[in-house]
Amino acid sequence: MSVTESKTEIFDMSNTEAKDRNRGKNNIVSIFELYVQPCLAELLGSALFIFAGCSSVIGNVGISGSVQPALAHGLALAIAIAIFGEISGGHFNPAVSLSVYLVGGMELILLAPYIIAQICGGMIGAGLAKLIFPDETFQSAAGAAFNAVQTNTGIGAATVAEMLMTLILTLVVCMSAINEKTRSHFAPFCIGLTVTANILAGGAVSGACMNPARAFGPAVAANYWTYHWIYWVGPLAGALLTVTFVRLLMGDQKRRVILK
């Protein structure tokens, strides 16, 4: 087996690899493993990751600093990717799924179901966090919804921060787990560390969401929608920038659309 073949397939759910894994199986098993099981993994993984993230924020009320939420989000994401990565790719984030699809790492037929599963998982995770904390503590933390932006003056900075942090996150995903030339077994660890670093760096500016599903779940649980759109526009813009960089500049010959 070559070095390239031995590298991890986490995040890469493109059609060729999936069909190879399911060749020789009956149709029902193939459909389940190709389409149903990955969506279930995205649902469960998103719920567990967002539960841990929301709980860390709610439990951090009255404690200054972003260390606890940063570590909880990063570690929970790395663990979820390590557990579910070989089933679904371990996205747990609509912005990640969009960037992975656009660089050729998954089929179009999975994109919308993944995003729906991630959003539903976000609501489940946020609901579980609400269940375990006293209502007073939950409300004082706005249910772990993103409330870093309080006035119109912070909108531009928060949107740009979300775009840049998601750019970093999705670039790490695409280069460490999708791009064949740079794939690494350490992808879950690198991605978790990236989330931790971004929260430490940008938590005070925007809350460092980088994930529309992570924003949507607690917004529903706490009914907190102030400037919620930032956490869709910023991350999705960052994901599209990553696709531009990978497709035009940083990708290998399979990913690049120029100078192949």
* Closest residue by Cα to residue 194 from 169, 163, 171, 175: 169
Whether the per-residue pLDDT at 92 is higher than 50: the answer is yes
Is 185 a member of any domain?
yes
User: What is the span of the domain harbouring residue 159?
Assistant: 3-250
Q: Tell the burial category of 260 from Cβ atoms under 10 Å away from its Cβ (0-12, 13-18, 19+).
A: exposed
For residue 170, give Cα distances in angstroms to 60, 68, 148.
27, 23, 22
- The pLDDT-based confidence of 184 (bands split at 50, 70, 90) is very high
Query: What is the tally of structural domains in the chain?
Result: 1
Q: Nearest Cα to 152, choosing from 218, 236, 226? A: 226
75 three-state secondary structure: helix
Backbone angles phi, psi at 10, to 5 degrees: -55, 135
Q: What is the mean pLDDT of the chain?
A: 91
pLDDT in tens, 48-58: 999 999 999 99
Residue 209 within a domain: yes
- In the DSSP assignment, the letter for residue 66 is S
> pTM (2 decimals)?
0.90
Q: How far apart are CA 238 and CA 194, in angstroms?
A: 14
Q: With respect to residue 38, please indicate whether it lies within any of the assigned structural domains.
A: yes
What stretches of 83-240 adopt beta strand conformation (E)?
A: none
Domain assignment present for residue 258? The answer is no
pLDDT of 28 above 60: yes
Answer yes or no: is pLDDT of 241 > 50.
yes
Tokens 């179009």 identify what position? 108
Instruction: Match 């929260």 to its residue by tokens.
Output: 199
Q: What is the pLDDT of residue 8?
A: 42
In this structure, is residue 255 part of a structural domain? no
The answer to whether residue 102 sits within a structural domain is yes
Residue 257 maps to a domain: no
Q: Judge contact between 194 and 211, C-beta under 8 A.
A: no
| pLDDT above 60 (res 182) | yes
Give pLDDT tens digits for 127-169: 999 999 999 999 999 999 999 998 898 999 999 999 999 999 9
Q: What is the CATH number of the domain that holds 214?
A: 1.20.1080.10
H/E element holding 29?
helix 27-31
C-alpha distances in angstroms, 186 versus 7, 16, 157, 183, 189? Answer: 10, 23, 32, 9, 5
Q: Does any domain span residue 198?
A: yes
Residue 14 has pLDDT above 90, yes or no: no
